[in-house]
Amino acid sequence: EFLVAISEPVCRTKYLQEYQLTNFSLYAGASMGLKTEEILDQMRKFSKMAVPEKVETLVRECTERYGKVKLVLKQDRLYIECAQHPTILQELMQDPVLRTYRVERPPEEEMALRGPPPEGLAPDLLEDGGGAGS
């Protein structure tokens, strides 16, 4: 179950199963409540060899980022919320694609977007914060 929570299956044969760590699979593990150190401890426990530093860095970067930014739908508008991390909001504002969608300056922990979500944005990332008619 641990591998399924943090990785994606690549190949399954009768005697061998191969899994791949990805940013998305690690985010999924974090969304299930797995903490960075829990993931690394389990990897060390089950690995026959030392976990490479590159892998540890990937796990740390992906899981420690989880939950810092929310995309919220309020009254037919999308808002990027970063209440606990205002510096992240400032970094996001430097992104040329997001800057083209900005329409107003809401409270400091939010950034409003106009129009449909940018291409490639997964709809399941949207949190309904009131929706139409609220």
Q: Long-range contacts for 30-35 (Cβ within 8 Å, ≥24 apart)?
A: 30/62, 30/63, 30/66, 30/67, 31/66, 31/67, 32/5, 34/5, 34/6, 34/63, 35/63
Supply the pLDDT for residue 130. Answer: 43
- Domains of the chain, by residue range, sit at 2-65, 70-131
pLDDT at 118 (0 to 100): 64
| Residues 67 and 125 sit within 8 Å (Cβ to Cβ) | no
pTM for the whole structure: 0.59
pLDDT (tens digit, 9 = 90+) per residue, 22-51? 999 999 999 999 999 999 999 999 999 999
CB 110 within 8 A of CB 80: yes
Cβ atoms of 6 and 56 within 8 Å: the answer is no
Query: Hey, what are 18's tokens?
Result: 């191969």
Q: Are 26 and 36 in contact (CB under 8 A)?
A: no
Which are the contacts of 97, defined by CB distance < 8 A and separation ≥ 6?
118
pLDDT in tens, 64-104: 888 888 888 887 878 888 878 778 888 888 888 888 877 66
Give the tokens for residue 47: 């690995």
